[in-house]
Homo-oligomer: A and B are copies of this chain.
Amino acid sequence: MNTGKQLLDIDELWCIKEDRFSGETTKHYEGLFTQGNGYMHVRGSFEEGLEGAAQDEEYLRMPANVTLEKPRHPESKWGTFIPGVVGKHPLLKEEIINLPYFLSMNLVIAGEKLDMKLSNVKEYRRWLDLRNGCLYRTFIWETKAGLSLRLTYMRFISMSHEHLCLQQLGIEALSGQGVVDIACGIDAGVRTNGYNHFREVLTAEPETGCISAETLTDGGDRILMLSSVKASQNILWSRQQKDQNVFFWGSKLLKAGDCLEVQKAVSVVTGRDNEAGELLERGLKYLRAFGAEGREKLYENHAKVWTEKWKYSDIKITGDFEAQLALRTSIYHLIRSNCENDPRVAICAKGYAGEAYFGRYFWDTEINMLPFFIHSNPKAARNLIMFRYNTLEGARKNAGAYGYQGARYAWESSVSGEEQCPCWQYADHEIHITADIVYALCHYVNGTGDLEFIWNHGIDIMVETARYWVERVDINKNGYYELLGVMGPDEYLPMTRNNAFTNRMVKFSLDKTVEYLEAVRKQDANKYRDIEKRLALTPEDMARFKDVGEKLKIPFDANTLIIPQSDDFQDYADLDFDTIWKDRTRPFGHFISQERNYRSKALKQADVLQLIMLYPGDFTREQLSASYDYYEPITTHDSSLSASVYGITAAWLGRLEEAGKFLKKVMETDMSIEKKGAAEGIHIANCGGLWQMIVYGFAGLKSAMWCSEIRLEPHLPEKWEKLEFTLAWHGKWYKAAITQEKYEIFEMQDQLEA
């Protein structure tokens, strides 16, 4: 079998491993081992499923606090996601649909079905190679009938042919003999959060040697999956169907010493692909590549793309094996979940690696993930902002639904941009997302120099959201504008007054809008007239943006040592954390009622510290230090967006022990087997947070938002010998190398992709 080389080459710095099977951690590994290529994503489930883990259970899932909810399916949940393929859930609003499971491969010997829980399995090992995105599994199965087999699985979702997935199974008979029944197919017995989004599933054999399952979703999408199968020895495959599963069935007599290799290819096409042609025609074309080019060639092309990706994305940490692997895992998932060629979608909160958060887009994209893309793949960064431009119409509808002019981005965005969050406290009050997007687009422009993006797209977002803000503010007795009824980043205080983070973001957004408009008016009267016309911009608009931007209340100034999270923050109750939080390995939210939480000074996540991190120039070191010391003890870090912010600011303060503690927390979020953190999907914002901890925190890179030159102020953890990474910066590539003693930045000769 061709994977022999890779099998020997489990590089500890590049491979995440599972050394033994346990039902307890299967779901965690399903999330952690998710494979994908931007276009499609599949969780790392076993090819044969798992005993007792039904995938088509229907139940009524209620809107709830996802962070604290106990999810169903404790042991295993398949996940097959195509960004943009969504449907309406009666209670949860629009959600990404968990599509038919196309990895299905089942083995039966003398009536005994292979199952990791039930079968007698030895020498089990599974690993994901981050270099090439291939998932491997090998073990010995001792069947009851006496036949003993070594099975070796390998699969990848092609990075070079985005509609293709290839699977391979090597079977080596070690002792005994018997007939192996093999079934390879597509299983539509899948429900999303307990709901059936499939209006119909049509199965067929469109041509000899090819089976198909065509799904019509309740969102109106058609998904065609085609599959073919090859074996190294002659097997007569017949198409069969059982319940919602269509598959090729074949059998082979094996005796000790026999080897058999089975290869399966799947092509997936949808009606929303940006391609001409009938579904079947396109699907067959991609599938035939498997027949024509062969698996080896396809693998080579695939691996080449991954190598290229890593060239510009990898960060090398010498002296810290754990941090190295965790960081590469994060970067792997960021690369995988980025839909590079499709600005109609962005990166959802679970990185298309689970049903949690319903495949929706949050502020995480802009604040947590975007910096990685600005500096490793500027085109992808641009696409992420373009998603917001493409959903401006949805944002306009959101504003209208609340009775406002302009555009208001959704707290939980669907592909249309319309609000999908079913819990009003977030949807109604967590309004900073709308300003975060303007911050992010300015960050992109400042990091890349792509000013044209402002004039052609960005300014539309800026003007339309400014129109919303000038209506969303209230004026107070002193003539200042206020933002009342606001949930800041800290989601444990749902309705506060003048949240410092939010007000500062909104002020930035309004000021930048005025600044860009005034600049273009001076520099290019024609262009300004175009913008005026396109956006029906009036002098009154401008005057109002300026007025509100100038007079929006900022609840701190140079004399405020501890920045107040909001005007009313001191009115909330103090808590005795030690009494309440009995087990700090579990979220604080599990130990307190929402009612009490909502009236107490217990932060879910960084809020003021997030503000300082994004606007470092606004604050002195003393303000940072005092705010850190005040807020850290009352921050629960129940949100995965928190630890990295504290870690970065701790590094800035030179508090390396604290920074190390937060680094550990960030790494554990998805990597810890004990916490099973990846069970419901990847905390993809935390992946971006880990990148930021390394680059902004330990390397001390000054944000491109505020600094036109590359500037570092490193604070490496003690045991780190060297830190090396690449940076895209204003259209050029740079390499940085940092040791405890010194650092170097040099320009690379590589050209940036257009």
Binding site for B on A (CB under 8 A): 60, 62, 90-91, 401-403, 424, 428-429, 474, 482, 484-485, 494-495, 497, 567-568, 571-574, 592-596, 598-600
Instruction: Report whether A401 and B593 are in contact in the complex, using a CB–CB cutoff of 8 Å.
Output: yes
Docked-complex contact B484 and A573, CB < 8 angstroms? yes
In Å, the complex CA distance between A403 and B494 comes to 20
**Chain B nearest CB, measured from A295 CB (Å):** 48
Q: Which residues on B sit within 8 Å (CB–CB) of A60?
A: 90-91
Q: 7 A-B Cβ contacts within 8 A? A: A91-B91, A401-B593, A402-B595, A484-B600, A495-B495, A497-B571, A567-B571
- Which chain B residues lie closer than 8 Å to A62 at the CB level? 91
Which residues in B have their C-beta under 8 angstroms from that of A598? 428, 485, 495
Query: B428 touching A595 by the CB < 8 A rule?
Result: yes
Q: Assuming A401-B593, A484-B573, A484-B599, what are 6 further A-B pairs, CB within 8 angstroms?
A: A62-B91, A403-B593, A403-B596, A474-B600, A497-B571, A568-B568
- B residues less than 8 Å from A403 (CB atoms): 592-593, 596
A593: B residues at CB distance < 8 A: 401-403, 428
A234 CB to closest chain B CB (Å) equals: 54
A91-B62, A573-B474 known; A485-B592 Cβ under 8 A:
no
Chain B contacts for A494, CB-based, 8 A: 495
B572 contacts A484, C-beta separation under 8 Å: yes
Closest 10 CB pairs of A and B: A485-B599, A474-B573, A428-B595, A484-B599, A402-B593, A485-B598, A403-B593, A60-B90, A484-B573, A495-B495
Across-interface contacts of A574 in B (CB, < 8 A): 474
Cα(A445)–Cα(B528), bound, Å: 77
* Chain B contacts for A595, CB-based, 8 A: 402, 424, 428-429, 485
Shortest distance between the CB of A565 and any CB in chain B (Å):
16
Q: Which residues of B contact A401 (CB under 8 A)?
A: 593
Q: CB-nearest residue of chain B relative to A424?
A: B594
A231 to B298, CA, bound (A): 88
A441 to B294, CA, bound (A): 84
In the complex formed, the residue of B with least CB distance to A471 is B596
Question: Could you tell me the distance between the alpha carbons of A567 and B599 in the complex, rounded to whole angstroms?
Answer: 14
CA distance A401 to B594 in the complex (A): 11
How far, in angstroms, from A482 to B573 measured CA to CA in the complex? 9
Q: How far is the CA of A599 from the CA of B62 in the complex (A)?
A: 27
Bound-complex Cα distance A567 to B484 (A): 16
- Tell whether, in the assembled complex, residue B424 and residue A571 are in contact, meaning their CB atoms are under 8 Å apart: no
Inside 8 A of A495's CB, which chain B residues have their CB? Answer: 494-495, 598-599
Cα A495 to Cα B594 with chains together (Å): 13
Chain B: CB-nearest residue to A494: B495
Q: Which residues on B sit within 8 Å (CB–CB) of A571?
A: 484, 497, 567-568
CB distance from A293 to the nearest CB of B (A): 50
Contacts of A429 in B (CB 8 A): 595
Name A474's closest neighbour in chain B (CB-CB).
Answer: B573
Q: Please give the distance in Å from A193's CB to the nearest CB on chain B.
A: 15
In the assembled complex, the Cα of A568 lies from the Cα of B567 at a distance in Å of 11
For the complex, give the distance between the alpha carbons of A92 and B599 in Å: 26
Cα(A401)–Cα(B595), bound, Å: 11
Q: A702 to chain B: closest CB distance in Å?
A: 37
Q: Which residues of B contact A428 (CB under 8 A)?
A: 593-595, 598
Write the nearest CB–CB distance from A199 to chain B, whole angstroms.
18
Task: Please measure, in the bound complex, the distance between the C-alpha atom of A62 and the C-alpha atom of B474, giving whole angstroms.
Answer: 32
CB distance from A398 to the nearest CB of B (A): 11
Query: A647 → chain B, closest Cβ, in Å?
Result: 31
| Distance A573 CA – B494 CA, assembled complex (angstroms) | 17
> Using Cβ atoms and an 8 Å threshold, which residues of chain B touch A91?
60, 62, 91
In whole angstroms, what is the CA distance A278 to B419 when docked? Answer: 55
- Contact residues in B for A600 (Cβ distance below 8 Å): 474, 484
